[in-house]
Structure formats: C-alpha cells, structure tokens
Structure 1
C-alpha cells in the first residue's frame, strides 16, 4: 500500500487515518486451506496437479462468499493437524469429522456435511451382515488416523483392523484379495465401486455412526482461539446453504443432500 508523501503532509491526521483504513479495507482476506487430495469424490489431486471434489468446490464457494483470496495446500492426512498448528495453512477442509479428541487440538466450524460409514466386501464374500459376529476373525481395512478406523477398532473387537496411510492403499489390498472388508464413508466407497477396480466388490451395508466417535458431522478445522475466522466460515456455510450454492455443488456430485439432519 502506498499513499503519496504530499497527501500525507496535507491531510489532517484523522483524515489520513481514515484514508489508510479505507485502502486496507479493500484488501481481501487471504486464507491458505489445507486438504489431503487423496479422498475422492471429496478431495482429489489429478494427474495434472489439479485439485477437485466436493470439499474443494465448497471451499471455493465459502471463499467467494467471504470475499477472500484462497490458496490450497496439499498435505498427507496423518500430518494435517500438526501442519495446521505449525502455520502451514489456516484451515483444513478435507472431510474431517468433528470429534472431541480432535477438539483438544483444533477448533471446528459448524458441519458442512454428514454421511454414514459403510462396509465393502468382495462380491463372492460369505459375510452375511455388518454385526461384530458377522465380522469375527475377518480382516478389515481402514485409513489410519480416521474416525472410521477408530469406529472399526471399537465396534469389531474380534476382527483384525488393518490401517493404511491412504484410502488408495486399502483399496489396492482389497482388489488383490488381502482384505475381507473395508470401512469408510459410504460415498467414498461407492465412488470406488464405480471404478474398474471396484468391480470386484459390493457394499455390504451402511453402519449407524456412533456420535461419540464420529461427532455431529464434517467441519472445517482451524487453530484454537481463531474465533473470528471460525465465525466467518460459519456465516459463509449458512449463506451458501440459504442462497442455493450448496445445493448446486451437492447436485454436481450426489443424488441426495449430504448435509444430513
């Protein structure tokens, strides 16, 4: 920002302060957003390094609503909260569940979607249902450091829960017959089944999410104490729900409202 020396010399102090304030007010807020880029259809990094998905479109809509300039930063899932705390970015928009455990480390906005978990098994599987008895002595794959892995470990105590750094890695083991089942968000699993590799498998059923594990839904994580940024995001979430932008993005990806009850 530059104000000419002549203007500074001729304007009264109060008028100069107002002029500086007006110039500063025109400068858009700048926000760096962290996302994984490996969780389609919510966030995915394409071969040409383009980020796409529901999380990404929602983030862009929120930034537009806030009149903010936003920059995306990709980050491995397991290190995404430490990277936020270290200042690598200002917010995480990456399908992160609002949980009490995570709230010890970060603050969350209100939810921006909420969909149930599900189990996928091979098409020729003899697993008949989704109960702990049905999955007894079976190996279940899940992405590590996720609510799905936590839920599987708590809900299927007699199963072997195997965790992976990314969803792509558990999918690969599923395709190659090294897992009896995998657990994840139902939409993520359906996206997998719609691919050539996913033709191996089927959805066994959805699961009732335990709110003690999953929380009230998916939110935006920010550093603790940054209340102003959190409330700006909350206002923007409410606005895009109200003005139809959310519905438009939702219809691009899904056949039902993923916001949930």
Structure 2
C-alpha cells in the first residue's frame, strides 16, 4: 500500500509539473521598450496605448511566432539589467548590436539600420565635425551615438553632454542650451517636423563607424537559444512577406529594414 501511495504521489507531482510547464510556456513574452517615448519608434497614442514602428513590428513578430506578447515599459538605463533579471524577455527598442553589448546579452538578426544625424539651428554654418571646436553637443547616454561621440569627436574640441532621455536632449537644443545634437536620423526627421522645432534642421549624418555596430537587433538573454531561433525565423518571415518594409514606408517614408536576401 505504501508503494502504491508513493507511485500516486510521484505521478501526481509529475503531472502537476507538466501542467506548470505548459502554463509557463503559454505566458506572454514581455517586450521591453523604454518608458520614455521615442517617436516614431515607440510612443503612446491618444488613448494611452503604446504604438510606433517597433511596437507594430513586435506585434507582427509575435503573430509570426504564434505567441502572445505584452509591451513592458522600462527605464532605458536599466533595460539590460531588467532583461538579465527576468523582468522582461526581450528588448525591442532601437538597440544596436555592438561588441560591448554582445559581451552581456545576445541578439537576434538585425532588423533595421539608420545612421546618426546632427541637428542644429538652420543658420548653423560650422563644418561638421571639423568646425565643432568650442561647441556644445547633446547626446543620449548609453546609446551608440554616445559611443560614437566619445570615440570620434573627442579630438574636435566639442563639449559632449550626456542625457538620460532623448527628449531632454531635444528640449535643451530648443532652449538654446546646446549648439547641436546627435541622434538617430529617423527620430530626428520626426523631431524637425514638430512645430516647436521650426528653424532647426538635419545638418549632416554620421559616417559609418564601428560604434554603430551592424544594425538594430532584439536583445535577449544568452541562454534563450530557442527564442532567438524563433525570432530569427519570424524576422525572415516579415521581411519576405513585406510587413517590415510596409511599416517602415508608412512611418518613415523609406525602407530601413535589413534583409538577408
């Protein structure tokens, strides 16, 4: 009788474990994006819901994987620790694939690439970067543009000021506390179209530099091999069926998607 009870106990425990595993497998994937809006990639609509190029792209990827997903806003400066701690399952927030980041996390295949762009007042006539000696430039910290500024502009005499949030950089430019800013070209195209940014324009784009890595990818934990494989297949699918290009054209007026074809 004792043996029979033990068998039942083991069987019950095993079945319970299987049930728990199945439930966990069906939990939504938590997609980490910066809690600070980054239009047109990620921002909140009038009803408070998150939208934007990367939000819609994430939805398309989840549909391709047949997985339920949920947007999980996270402070940019803590987004990698949030991934490593398990608070989120992936980062999809214009994060460039760089050697430094690959030391601590893995990435999916790249899904888009855009260069950095310098924005200044329309009457700013100094040559970039040769004429930046004594100028003040604003850059969001913990970004590839910040890495580029540190590596490529350090000998130009420019005063590089780092900010936690992209909108802080934009506001200080508009307020006259900065001479120019360096940020993603697509985001800057949207910025200079704002009413409050009248009189400002994109002056130049940054050259190709190893600081920018090989493009933007989805950040993942190093042990999540199955998820990386599934995401890479989904990225290939949305490239093949035109979803990525269609979203890019709608949001940016140009195709920034990276395809293996």
- For normalisation by structure 2, the TM-score amounts to 0.86
Count of residues paired in the alignment = 240
Match of 1:93 in 2: 92
4+ residue runs of structure 1 moved beyond 3 angstroms? none
**Conserved in 2, the CA contact under 8 Å of 1:34 and 1:94?**
yes
The match for 2:246 among 236, 245, 248 is 248
The 10-residue stretch of structure 1 (243-252 or 85-94) with the greater mean CA deviation from structure 2: 243-252
CA deviation digits over 1:69-106, x for unaligned, max 9? Answer: 00110011111001111111100000000001011111
**Conserved in 2, the CA contact under 8 Å of 1:62 and 1:236?**
yes
Post-superposition offset of 1:156: 1.2
**Conserved in 2, the CA contact under 8 Å of 1:36 and 1:44?**
no
More strand per residue: 1 or 2? 1
Post-superposition offset of 1:137: 1.4
**Conserved in 1, the CA contact under 8 Å of 2:192 and 2:198?**
yes
Q: Unpaired runs of 5+ in structure 2?
A: 1-10
CA deviation digits over 1:42-75, x for unaligned, max 9? Answer: 1113464311111101100000000000011001
Match of 2:149 in 1: 152
**Conserved in 1, the CA contact under 8 Å of 2:148 and 2:211?**
yes
Match of 2:171 in 1: 172
The verdict on how the C-alpha distance between 1:64 and 1:29 changes in structure 2, with shifts beyond 3 A counting, is: farther
Report the RMSD for the aligned CA atoms in angstroms.
2.2
The verdict on how the C-alpha distance between 1:43 and 1:224 changes in structure 2, with shifts beyond 3 A counting, is: same
Q: Helix, strand or coil: the match of 2:28?
A: strand
Map 1:23-42; keep pairs closer than 5 Å. 28=26, 30-37=28-35, 38-42=37-41
Match of 1:143 in 2: 140
Q: Helix, strand or coil: the match of 1:205?
A: strand
Give the Cα–Cα distance (whole angstroms) in 2 for the partners of residues 155 and 100 of structure 1: 17
Match of 2:48 in 1: 49
